[in-house]
Structure 1
């Protein structure tokens, strides 16, 4: 198995944020929201941990009129774009964008009916700290839904995935440079990702009963867990 190689926890330059926001996340975000809603969460107060530019929070509000979301991230440049995306979509009354550390949010115990996270875990040197915080924040019976990249077996598999999903096709020099950066970012993220077994081993006791961690695409795993009721 390929060893885990960490990448920066925070992507906080204007270039990083713009590159990320320019990627075509549409199909991935739609699938995330569809699968999250299929797990029948309570939507009264949803925490989107590592929201990035806020696109999943926006998509979730489109699909679920009952959803109210607190979208957090540590990267100021990402949050600036998230606020613009939320405003442009017309959901500022249902999505609160805030700068918080997903490992130490400062929110009270049981504040959230659900916690979601897409592509945060692979950025964290100690992802178990986030899972413990998620368990603390969930109300009894609350749903944790995490989707992230799964670390490939070897460099051959990394190269195959990068070639499949991050081709450099643009002829314009500026766009070609952006695609090259996105390609390098994707490869680094794959190397920084966890395996299903590693995620399972990090689950706190309050989330273990009935939890599922499984590969749900050729490059993603999904964790679905509910906090034990008192």
Structure 2
């Protein structure tokens, strides 16, 4: 099945509200816990700086901040509506001191080279017509030995599999939310395409693997030594 692009930015208020209302608690918690496991250990004395690319409504940074109150997280998105909902979520969780939300394009980061200990992104890659500039920027702002966790949807082989996956998400999702999921599956990349992008950019010492029936993951543990583990 050929890739079908969807809009890079979900910037209407209705889309932001619909996205935030979808129950991703289980997958978000799994992602947050893996991000923590890939980051510096709790015994690390230096300040830990995390960058979340395409944070959406900031659900994942909140989960991380609640588990690692000493970490500082910069969470960016190109959707002002998503960030507005995210700001409410951050305030409700009492995490304003840890999480900085910024309106930033992940393809053109305004941050210094080697600034972050850990860079994470959940479900941003399928929104990008060409993810390579984003991956290169990720590599630039990450410290030598910094941790990486990227996760996104896998594009199914055919339309029938797309329909079957959408049908399994449950009756709690309305027609608009189901359509969002359908469009995201069609805009996603295959595992082979993700592996090719990693090789093109030259991300070293990463694992690229299928992590569920609908997700791929790129992971690299943080290391105090330049070059990673």
Same topology, TM > 0.5: yes
> Shift in Å at residue 208 of structure 1?
3.3
SS in 2 for 1:208: coil
Aligned to 2:119: 115
Match of residue 154, structure 1, among 148, 152, 158: 158
Aligned to 2:59: 55
Deviations 1:69-100 (A, max 9, x none): 00000000000011111111011000000000
Deviations 1:137-182 (A, max 9, x none): 10100011101101111111101110111x345xxxxxxxx71000
Work out the CA distance in 1 between the residues paired with 2:107 and 2:199.
Answer: 14
> Shift in Å at residue 205 of structure 1?
6.6
Aligned to 1:184: 179
**In structure 2, do the counterparts of structure 1 residues 46 and 87 end up closer, same or farther at CA, with 3 Å as the change threshold?**
same
Work out the CA distance in 2 between the residues paired with 1:35 and 1:97.
Answer: 22
Contact 1:143/1:225 (<8 A) preserved: yes
Work out the CA distance in 2 between the residues paired with 1:12 and 1:138.
Answer: 28
SS in 2 for 1:91: coil
> Shift in Å at residue 204 of structure 1?
5.7
> Shift in Å at residue 193 of structure 1?
0.4
Q: Which runs of 5+ in 2 are unaligned?
A: 42-46
Match of residue 192, structure 2, among 183, 189, 197: 197
Normalised by the size of structure 1, how large is the TM-score? Answer: 0.90
Work out the CA distance in 2 between the residues paired with 1:196 and 1:84.
Answer: 35
Q: How many correspondences in the alignment? A: 220
Deviations 1:80-122 (A, max 9, x none): 0111111110110000000000010111111111100000000
Alignment of 1:128-147 (within 5 A): 128-147=132-151
Aligned to 2:38: 39
Contact 2:48/2:71 (<8 A) preserved: yes
Q: Does 1:99 align with 2:103?
A: yes
